[in-house]
Structure formats: C-alpha cells, structure tokens
Copies of this chain bind each other. A is one copy, B any other.
Amino acid sequence: MIETGARRREIDEVASELFHANGYAATSVRDIARALDIQGASLYAHVASKEDLLWAIVDRSASAFEHAADRAVDETGDADAVERLAALVEAHVEVVAADPERSSVFVTEWRHLSGGRRAVIAGRRDAYEARFRETIRDGVAVGAFRPTDPAIAATFILTALNGIATWYRPDGRLSPDRIADHYVELALRSLSEDHR
C-alpha cells in the first residue's frame, strides 16, 4: 500500500524535484532526507527504499495520463477520430503542464525501475501509446487522415508532447491552453490529407 498522508506527499514532491534536477541514479535517500531536513532513518519510517519513491511518482504520473485520456475519450463520446485525437493531445498537454517535473521524471527515469515494476510501466506506456495509434488508424481507415504509419505518427506526436515537460514554465509566455491549441493544430495537420 502506498501511504498517502500529507507528509508522504511532501516526501514525493521533494524526491520528484531531486530526481528531476539530478536524475534518479545520482540522488540518494540521504539527499532526499537532507532536503526535507530530517534524518535518513526517519525517512525510512515512510518509505522502504529509494525505488519505492520512484515507483510512487511514476505510478501516479502514469495514472494521471491514463485518467486524463479516459476522460477525454469519454467526453468526445462517439466523435470521429479527428476529435478523439484532438482530445487526447489536449489531455496530454494538461497533465504535463499541471506537473512538468513529475511528468519529466516519469518520461526519463522510469527505466531505472527494476524487473516487474519496469515491465508494468512499459506495458502501461504501450497501452497509452496504443490509444494514439488506434485513433490514427481509425482516422486513416475512414479517410479523415492520410494513409500513414500509425506507429510512427503516434511516436512523432507523443515525443513532441513529452518534450513540453523540458521547456514549459508556469510563468512563461504560453498558458497550457494556448500550448494545447497549438499542439492540437500541429498534430492534426501532420496527419491531414491535403498538402499545399
């Protein structure tokens, strides 16, 4: 069971900050305890290992992407592939912008999970990417998108979306809504039938 109290949330936030700034492998439990101004031994009262912290962050981030995509697809109902892809892109931008640090740790550090946990996240990432692939495939099938390789197109769009975590600043010139509008437009057009 993952502890969910306020103290544990604080620990996760500090861990996320340090994993983001220095990478998981370069961050020790002692670094995290020091940033929280507590003893390493006290930290171990809340978490069993450094990997448990990474797991909590990655698992929560994966869930945030999954739930946002679920909601996006539910809200579009029986809409066509174009609207569904727009909703998926918009949902992804919102999750990244709501917590760019955690999203960035999810995207870059999940590979440091060991064995079973790594396989679980690999599977969830693949299932998530499949929503994009299948939506593109559906759009191609009905002629809404040009014939293309759905896997490459999904990867192109998702890597651009994940890149937002590397440059987005809450105090920057672009609000999450403006970024979402631009990215929806760029993604839909990248699949569009007519070219100049």
Interface residues of A (CB under 8 A from B): 22-26, 82, 108, 144, 146, 148-149, 152-153, 155-160, 162-164, 166-167, 174, 179, 182-183, 185-196
Contact = CB atoms under 8 A, between A and B. Distances in A.
B152 A159 contact: no
A132 B61 CA distance: 32
Instruction: Give chain A's interface secondary structure class.
Output: helix
B195 A188 contact: yes
Contact of A187 (B108, B179, B190): B190
A167 B152 CA distance: 11
A174 B148 CA distance: 14
Contacts of A191: 186, 189
Given A159-B163, A163-B163, A189-B192, A182 B25 contact: no
Contacts of A157: 160
Given A26-B23, A189-B191, A159 B159 contact: yes
State the 10 A-B residue pairs at the shortest beta-carbon distance, nearest first: A159-B163, A25-B26, A194-B194, A23-B23, A190-B190, A160-B160, A26-B26, A186-B190, A152-B182, A22-B25
